[in-house]
Structure 1
Amino acid sequence: MTLSKPLSLRPGVKADVPEAAMVLAAGMGRRMRPLTATRPKPLITVRGRALIDYALENLARAGVKRAVVNTHYLADQVEAHVKRRDHGLDISLSDERAELLETGGGCKKALPLIGADTFYVMNSDNIVVDGPMDTLRLLAERWDPGIMDALLLLVPLARATGYSGNGDFRMSGTGALLRQSGTRLAPFIYSGTQIVKRELFEDTPDGPFSFNLIWDRLIESGRLYGMAHLGGWYHVGTPAAITATETLLASE
């Protein structure tokens, strides 16, 4: 498979979907206060569903078999929620009560539970709505381990609902990613969903670190790639964003 081929939009396309996923749910949710004073951000509800349920249900629908959810802030509530609901996944919990490990460190700690050489990583505070195809299956179809070590689902800045930053990446015609330099806006933002290789966590800190450390290394080696999302995407980062997101989702 090469990245120069067009994306297939045929119904029923078969892809080698990774069997495992990491769902990041350990953050403090400070920008969501006061709602997160007594409830962790992954359990904030949008249209009657907890944010984390959107991620877990997308994974199950794509054919993922098991997921690891990390916990830190109000961890007992997250643990009780994922155990109480049937998401169609074998769910394990990675306990970060002692120390919040950030995105990269949290994944590294969870590797023994993930138990796969290639897996999805998803944030629990973004809602991904499929376009013409199942987004996670399309990402798996695009995955080419011969030339990439991480494949990021990207959202065009102009369609990044709820996002207020300057963007994250620019993307070449082959899908290779670079950081945007200077003060110009980057055309794409990271959606909170990616496929990664387990080996990326070798030679990384044992404590807290961000995925940015891994991504910057991959940019230097030319092995960080992206795919533009064809559907809807909503970042639910503040209380005000909840109502706005609910209105937009109702029109999807």
Structure 2
Amino acid sequence: MKAMILAAGLGTRLLPLTETKPKALVEINGKTLLEICIDNLKKNGFNDVVVNVHHHAQQVIEFLSKRDFGVKLFISDESDRLLDTGGALVHARKFLDDNQPFLVHNVDIISDIDLKRFYTLHMETSAIATLAVSKRESSRVFLFNSNMELCGWRSMLTGKSIITKEAKELTAYAFSGIHVISPEIFNFLPSAGEFSIVDAYLKISTSSEIKGVDLTKNKVIDVGKPQSLEKAANFLS
């Protein structure tokens, strides 16, 4: 199974830690976020892993070259231009597009989600993408109908909503930064450039199926801010 780790971000929320190194190499209990993510993917049966790089890219490349992680690693280099979450997938298409779904995982997300089972749940549907979501506090949420089909998005800060599919009742879920995507998604995406996968999902959901899986019972930690590092350290230990 294939997976992609989104590790190219600037890590601005983790400043000053990310002034001199990338977010992916920030350590928790002596292990980098990138290493934690790769080990978790390997444990769940993902043996081909793509890592995109931009901020302090060479540091990440050197880190990955220095040891054997037990998986096949591929670098998707965005050194010249940060392509956002959607553009990153298109840029890495040559590594991912082999007629099988692939998992995408933000490098700064730590969870106890059974990734292999989550992948299997996607395989049992005809959805173009399946998103791991939960009922927790978030500044932005996806909106799903009773069948867990994506129908919109809402900013919890401004109240702005985008409705892509009408439904009698919509339920808000926070996105975990973990999703499984079928390769047919490339038929819906721009051929190049910088864009958000969230925007793409909303557009796709107007005519095709994007599903959500409620994983509220699982623990999901967004290691995006310095104060979350201690919480992650306690969870991992």
TM-score, length-scaled by structure 2: 0.85
| 2:233 corresponds to 1:246 | yes
Equivalence for 1:73: 55
Provide runs of 4+ in structure 1 moved above 6 Å.
Answer: none
User: What's the secondary structure of 1:204's corresponding residue?
Assistant: coil
Question: Compared with structure 1, are the counterparts of its residues 222 and 199 closer, same or farther at alpha carbon in structure 2 (3 Å cutoff)?
Answer: closer
% same residue: 28
Q: What is the one-letter code of the residue matched to 2:225?
A: T
Q: Which runs of 5+ in 1 are unaligned?
A: 1-18, 159-164
User: What's the secondary structure of 1:105's corresponding residue?
Assistant: helix
The count of aligned residue pairs is: 222
Q: Which runs of 5+ in 2 are unaligned?
A: 162-170
Equivalence for 1:16: none
Question: Compared with structure 1, are the counterparts of its residues 179 and 203 closer, same or farther at alpha carbon in structure 2 (3 Å cutoff)?
Answer: closer
How is 1:17-28 mapped onto 2 (pairs within 5 angstroms)? 19-28=1-10
Q: What is the one-letter code of the residue matched to 1:125?
A: D
Equivalence for 2:165: none
Question: Compared with structure 1, are the counterparts of its residues 100 and 175 closer, same or farther at alpha carbon in structure 2 (3 Å cutoff)?
Answer: same
Superposed displacement of residue 181, structure 1: 5.0
Question: Compared with structure 1, are the counterparts of its residues 181 and 129 closer, same or farther at alpha carbon in structure 2 (3 Å cutoff)?
Answer: closer
Alignment check: 8 A CA contact 1:121 1:195 kept: yes
How far, CA to CA, are the matches of 2:97 and 2:202 in structure 1? 25
What's the C-alpha RMSD, in Å, of the aligned pairs?
Answer: 2.1
Q: What is the one-letter code of the residue matched to 1:170?
A: L
Equivalence for 1:103: 85
Of the three residues 15, 28, 34, the one matched with 1:46 is 28
Question: Compared with structure 1, are the counterparts of its residues 243 and 234 closer, same or farther at alpha carbon in structure 2 (3 Å cutoff)?
Answer: same
Superposed displacement of residue 187, structure 1: 3.4
How far, CA to CA, are the matches of 1:84 and 1:171 in structure 2? 43
Question: Compared with structure 1, are the counterparts of its residues 125 and 216 closer, same or farther at alpha carbon in structure 2 (3 Å cutoff)?
Answer: same
How far, CA to CA, are the matches of 1:217 and 1:167 in structure 2? 17
Question: Compared with structure 1, are the counterparts of its residues 249 and 221 closer, same or farther at alpha carbon in structure 2 (3 Å cutoff)?
Answer: same
Superposed displacement of residue 136, structure 1: 0.9
| 2:68 corresponds to 1:86 | yes
Question: Compared with structure 1, are the counterparts of its residues 246 and 222 closer, same or farther at alpha carbon in structure 2 (3 Å cutoff)?
Answer: same
Superposed displacement of residue 213, structure 1: 2.5
